[in-house]
Homo-oligomer: A and B are copies of this chain.
Amino acid sequence: MVWTGIITDVRVSDVRFPTSLTLDGSDATNRDPDYSAAYVVIETDRRDGVTGHGLAFTIGRGTEVVVAGIHALRHLVVGKPIAAFTSSPGEFWKLLTGDSQIRWLGPDKGVMHLATAAVVNALWDLWAKLEQKPLWKLLSELSPEQIVELVDWRYLSDALTPEEARRSLDRLVPTRDARAAAMLDEGYPAYTTSVGWLGYPDEKIRRACREGIEQGFSRFKLKVGLDLGDDLRRTALVRDMIGPEHTLMIDANQRWGVEQAIEWVRRLAPTRPWWIEEPTSPDDVLGHAAIARALEPLGIGVASGEHCANSVMFKQFMQAGAISFCQIDFCRLAGVNEVVAVLLLAAHFGVPVCPHAGGVGLCEYVPHASLFDYIAVSASLERRCIEFVDHLHEHFVDPCVVRGGRYLAPTAPGTSITMKADSLAAHTFPGGQVWQDLSERS
């Protein structure tokens, strides 16, 4: 239906959680993250008072730059009818990413792309709340024609045309309902990263492995890349704890050059990792391809995407056979529209999508993408799972729920990203109570 109302404001907050105090989230590159977000609320003149919430995940310093980026997009949003977005979300996305002066700052990458993600996702949150549906359901009920319209095809159609995408979406329409029912019954497979942050001592890793198995997980990810001796010990430790029947993944967070990556991972191969994640620069398509070729005989796949700048980069990672696992990030890509573009590309290339999560809000966001992927785009769960970190969910009104190693289908209207007002206030940087207390203590 056509939603009435005008967008009247885009409010932005700088929200930070002092996670660096506990080394949760520490890895070879991101040693002391304070999980943070530039948090957006879109307001309208509607009498029902519905607001759209969205965020871009960051890790501390520099969040204020993303906030400035969101302010720079204000003029493209405020004053527009809600229907300008809901009737042509693809056109609206092009408007947001195509400002003739702001585009110079990218295009389609870095701070402005994160800022765009927060705004785009807030618009989707608004729409889904108006429709009274969780985002995955709203997306899964769009027609193939509407789904294809979400995407900017200009730089993608050499790999996949909109007509091809539409034809494969068409084929899955008759069976969508059965897959949606399965998702509501069984949920979507998750894996846990909580066993092996780089700052964790061995005993904490052992305990986390035991807890993960008790909680029903079968896939476990460990951070590597700082010291080969440590990595040999820690991968063996996790393999020992989880047994031969479970799955081990390793994540180097961009630590290595291309040749170093190949050598290092070869040494860890006896512990049979399923994938090596971010072995080198996230921009290095050809480097990832070289690593993938070298590790393929060992049965180790290459995973990447949490720092992949945009759909044009993902296109190339797939064209070059550089990744075996596509790790979309819900707010590094410029929101739902570009996530959909990458899901379509991944289905076309037969690359499974295993979204990046953790952080703050990402575990809330990504089940919507994976459920939609299964119901309407790839129709497969094979080699697919969503990252899970049990962390900071208490700050959300509709937090994700993981049981028995599976994400339950979100049921509340929207994108699950609305933060509790108390949490938002307490963690606002630098004025919130949490940061005031920390600054007094130091």
Interface residues of A (CB under 8 A from B): 29-34, 58-62, 64-66, 68-69, 72, 75, 99-115, 153-158, 254, 256-259, 280-287, 290, 307, 309-310, 312-313, 315-316, 319-320
Contact = CB atoms under 8 A, between A and B. Distances in A.
Nearest to A284: B312
A318 to B, nearest CB: 10
A154 B257 CA distance: 5
B286 A309 contact: no
Given A58-B104, A62-B102, A62-B104, 19 more contacts: A34-B101, A59-B100, A62-B72, A62-B105, A64-B72, A65-B65, A110-B113, A154-B256, A154-B257, A155-B257, A155-B258, A155-B281, A155-B283, A155-B284, A156-B257, A281-B312, A283-B313, A285-B316, A287-B316
Nearest to A20: B101
Nearest to A98: B29
27 contacts: A30-B104, A32-B100, A33-B100, A33-B104, A61-B72, A61-B75, A62-B69, A64-B72, A65-B72, A65-B105, A105-B114, A106-B110, A107-B254, A108-B283, A109-B283, A109-B309, A110-B110, A110-B111, A153-B257, A155-B287, A156-B257, A157-B257, A158-B290, A281-B312, A283-B309, A283-B313, A284-B312
Contact of A65 (B111, B254, B286): B111
A99 B72 CA distance: 24
A283 B311 CA distance: 10
A103 B68 contact: no
Given A29-B100, A62-B102, A282 B319 contact: no
B313 A59 contact: no
Contact of A257 (B60, B99, B158, B313): B158
B320 A107 contact: no
B155 A259 contact: no
A113 B315 CA distance: 23
Number of identical protomers: 2
A312 B290 contact: no
A101 B283 contact: no
A344 to B, nearest CB: 16
Contacts of A72: 61-62, 64-65
A69 B68 CA distance: 9
A280 B155 contact: yes
Contacts of A113: 110
Return the 5 tightest CB-CB contacts between A and B, nearest first: A110-B110, A60-B101, A111-B111, A158-B258, A68-B68
B287 A310 contact: no
B259 A158 contact: yes
Contacts of A258: 155, 158
Contact of A61 (B99, B156, B259): B99
Contacts of A153: 257
A1 to B, nearest CB: 34
A280 B315 CA distance: 14
Nearest to A261: B158
A111 B112 contact: yes
Given A30-B104, A59-B101, A287 B158 contact: yes
A124 to B, nearest CB: 23
Contact of A107 (B31, B154, B282, B285): B282
Contact of A110 (B64, B75, B109): B109
Contact of A310 (B34, B61, B101, B283): B283
A196 B402 CA distance: 59
A30 B286 CA distance: 30
A97 to B, nearest CB: 12
Given A111-B112, A257-B157, A258-B158, A286 B319 contact: yes
Contact of A64 (B34, B68, B154, B283): B68
A256 B107 CA distance: 14
